[in-house]
């Protein structure tokens, strides 16, 4: 099982120097991945903890791609119905190209009604709009020439398609994973609740002749108690999680470094079993 970590692209921790510092720290610690969240229009009455300050996830990862060399760069998750298909596909392909194929594309359908209102988008269509975006992304990465709105065009650069991890809960997220994804991306669910849907997803994928989907799970490990954190990580692995992402909260680079160091020790200990 791989271990990754979230970095804060919101609030006072989202400054350029601190972003670079924590990304470099995560890579030096040997973590597999770093992940960023996505909000585009936080309303004033829901801004606690961020002050409404959120950086764009794809732009943030493009900056961090230049600050790192090895670590994978993940969106956890990019809200698809917020964005127009073609410019988004171009941004994803560009990030994949310039990061040397390190992008891990976690995607979701969104939930915050205020953001949909600010964008003038129909929240009731978010599932259908996300499916249309996913279908279009697959077409873009499958051929140099693509047609949209009746107009053929060249989609270049066309690096290898990044793996797509579908966020959300069963049953819809599992259906979407089987149709469009390389894996499922559940968030903040205990391992005992994940084991049955993971087993179901893998049975269904096998029946379709597909490889077993990856399972990327976001969780908050109790890193202040290393034994408890180790046992929880083991439980996620036993449930079928293949990539566990620790949702880090920190005020300073030193706090982040402490968490990254503890995760590195967990990686070593898990590898010894």
Query: Where do the structural domains in the chain lie, given as residue ranges?
Result: 2-272
Domain 2-272 has CATH 1.20.1440.60: no
Q: For 195-243, write each residue's pLDDT tens digit.
A: 999 999 999 999 999 999 999 999 999 999 999 999 999 999 999 999 9
Q: For 47-65, write each residue's pLDDT tens digit.
A: 998 999 999 999 999 999 9
Predicted local confidence at residue 134, as pLDDT: 98
pTM above 0.95, yes or no: yes
On the question of pLDDT at 272 being above 90, the answer is: no
Percentage, residues of the chain above pLDDT 90: 98
Predicted local confidence at residue 273, as pLDDT: 78
Predicted local confidence at residue 201, as pLDDT: 98
Spell out the SS3 assignment of the chain. Answer: CEEEEECCCEHHHCCHHHHHHHHHHHHHCCCCEEEECCCCCCCHHHCCCCCCCECCHHHHHHHHHHHCCCCEEEEEEEEHHHCCHHHHHHHHHHHHHHCCCCEEEEEECCCCHHHHHHHCCCHHHHHHHHHHHHHHHHHHHHCCEEEECCEEEECCCCCCCCCEEEECCCCHHHHHHHHHCCEEECECCCHHHHHHHHHHHHHHHHHCCCCCCEEEEEECCCCCCHHHHHHHHHHHHHHCCCEEEECCCCCCHHHHHHHHHHHHHHHHHHHHC
On the question of pLDDT at 33 being above 90, the answer is: yes
Average pLDDT over residues 247-268: 97
CB 209 within 8 A of CB 238: no
Q: For 124-183, write each residue's pLDDT tens digit.
A: 999 999 999 999 999 999 999 999 999 999 999 999 999 999 999 999 999 999 999 999
Q: For 83-133, write each residue's pLDDT tens digit.
A: 999 999 999 999 999 999 999 999 999 999 999 999 999 999 999 999 999
């Amino acid at each position: 099982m791989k271990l990754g970590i979230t970095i804060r692209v919101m609030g006072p921790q989202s400054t350029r120097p601190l972003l670079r510092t924590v990304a470099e720290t995560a890579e030096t610690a040997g973590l597999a991945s770093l992940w960023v969240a996505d909000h585009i229009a936080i309303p004033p009455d829901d801004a606690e903890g961020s002050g409404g300050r959120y950086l764009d996830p794809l732009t943030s990862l493009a900056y961090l791609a230049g600050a790192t060399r090895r670590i994978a760069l993940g969106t956890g998750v990019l809200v698809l119905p917020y964005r127009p298909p073609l410019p988004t596909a171009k941004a994803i392909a560009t990030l994949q190209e310039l990061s040397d194929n390190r992008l891990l594309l976690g995607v979701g359908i969104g939930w915050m009604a205020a953001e949909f209102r600010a964008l003038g988008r129909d929240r009731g269509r978010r599932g259908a709009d996300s499916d249309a975006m996913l279908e279009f992304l697959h077409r873009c990465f499958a051929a140099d020439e693509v047609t949209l709105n009746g107009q053929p065009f060249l989609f270049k650069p066309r690096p290898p398609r990044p793996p797509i991890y579908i966020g959300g809960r069963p049953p819809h997220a599992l259906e979407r994973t089987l149709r469009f994804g390389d894996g499922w991306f559940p968030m903040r669910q205990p391992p005992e609740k994940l084991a049955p849907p993971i087993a179901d997803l893998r049975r269904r994928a096998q029946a379709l002749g597909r490889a077993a989907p990856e399972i990327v799970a976001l969780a908050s490990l109790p890193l202040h108690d290393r034994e408890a954190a180790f046992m929880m990580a083991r439980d996620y692995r036993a449930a079928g999680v293949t990539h566990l992402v620790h949702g880090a909260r920190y005020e300073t680079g030193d706090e982040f470094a402490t968490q990254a160091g503890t995760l590195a020790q967990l990686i070593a200990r898990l590898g010894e079993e």
